[in-house]
């Protein structure tokens, strides 16, 4: 649960953020992400994550790496809450890559219907499951290189599976997480989007808790999904408000 606290004016409510300032990127670090601030961010986020973790099927301890991989493929541009019952049913019916690879697309498509684009998603899952069977003996590989070799698995999904299913120190970065980094560390949006994206990935890897990557990544997703939302973020109950450049400006 996220506990609302009174903001500095003593009122409950969401805070309207000022327009983002454009600051130059520095050569030694991105925005205001100094080593001391990175360390504070990590510590605060992990502590908040422990107390505010959202419960999802794919976060349960006995969920297989295959369940995590299927989730990461389906959750693209889809709310986690919508994906949850679908993944639960899909994994109940097709517990491993061999079963999914042999399934009739129509039966997978029926399960995926609530998510939309169900035929396309069904084809996509079957291709991925077949690749797992052919290339990796029906197992989900643990290395980033092997995960990236699977169809429709990009950097985000590969890192998410490696960290969540195998506890490896791999960061994740999506629009929600990038938004938090940009706000906290005054990272400007520039026209050089690819360069900034690369730098954001570098920052994400530096901030990640190498000891607790799974919990850190979950906490980032939970903060971006429930507190540091795109419009009218709940700064008054954000654990990072004291160090957030955008809130303090």
Helices 105-112 and 80-93 pack at an angle, to 10 degrees, of: 150
Nearer to ligand SF4, 83 or 177 (CB): 177
What is the nearest approach in angstroms of ligand SF4 to the Cβ of residue 45?
10
Name the site residues for ligand SF4 (rule: CB under 6 A): 180, 183-184, 227-228, 233-235, 238, 240-241, 244, 246-247
What is the nearest approach in angstroms of ligand SF4 to the Cβ of residue 4?
12
- The answer to whether the CB of 73 falls within 8 A of the CB of 128 is yes
Say which residue the tokens 């601030």 belong to.
Answer: 37
Nearer to ligand SF4, 48 or 66 (CB): 48
What is the nearest approach in angstroms of ligand SF4 to the Cβ of residue 227?
5
What is the nearest approach in angstroms of ligand SF4 to the Cβ of residue 38?
14
Nearer to ligand SF4, 67 or 233 (CB): 233
- Cα 93 to Cα 85: distance, rounded to the nearest angstrom: 12
What is the nearest approach in angstroms of ligand SF4 to the Cβ of residue 120?
34
Using a 10 angstrom Cβ sphere, with 0-12 exposed, 13-18 middle and 19 or more buried, the burial of residue 11 is: exposed
Nearer to ligand SF4, 37 or 118 (CB): 37
- The answer to whether the CB of 68 falls within 8 A of the CB of 214 is no
Nearer to ligand SF4, 49 or 67 (CB): 49
């Amino acid at each position: 649960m996220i506990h609302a606290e009174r903001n500095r004016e003593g009122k409950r409510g969401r805070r309207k953020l000022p327009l983002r300032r454009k600051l130059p990127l520095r050569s030694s670090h991105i925005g205001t992400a100094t080593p001391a601030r990175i360390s504070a961010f990590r510590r605060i986020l992990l502590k908040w994550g422990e107390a505010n973790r959202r419960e999802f099927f794919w976060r349960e301890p006995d969920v297989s790496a295959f369940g995590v991989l299927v989730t990461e493929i389906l959750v693209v541009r889809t709310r986690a809450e919508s994906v949850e019952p679908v993944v639960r049913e899909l994994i109940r019916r097709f517990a491993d890559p061999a079963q999914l690879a042999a399934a009739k697309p129509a039966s997978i498509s029926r399960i995926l219907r609530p998510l939309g684009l169900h035929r396309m998603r069904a084809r996509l899952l079957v291709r991925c499951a077949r690749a797992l069977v052919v290339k990796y003996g029906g197992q989900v590989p643990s290395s980033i290189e092997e995960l990236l070799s699977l169809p429709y698995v990009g950097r985000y999904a590969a890192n998410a599976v490696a960290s969540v299913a195998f506890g490896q120190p791999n960061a994740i970065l999506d629009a929600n997480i990038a938004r938090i980094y940009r706000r906290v560390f005054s990272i400007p949006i520039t026209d050089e989007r690819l360069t900034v994206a690369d730098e954001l990935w570098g920052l994400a890897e530096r901030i990640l808790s190498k000891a607790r990557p799974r919990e850190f990544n979950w906490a980032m997703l939970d903060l971006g999904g429930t507190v540091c939302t795109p419009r009218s973020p709940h700064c008054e109950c954000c654990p990072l408000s004291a160090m957030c450049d955008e809130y303090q400006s």
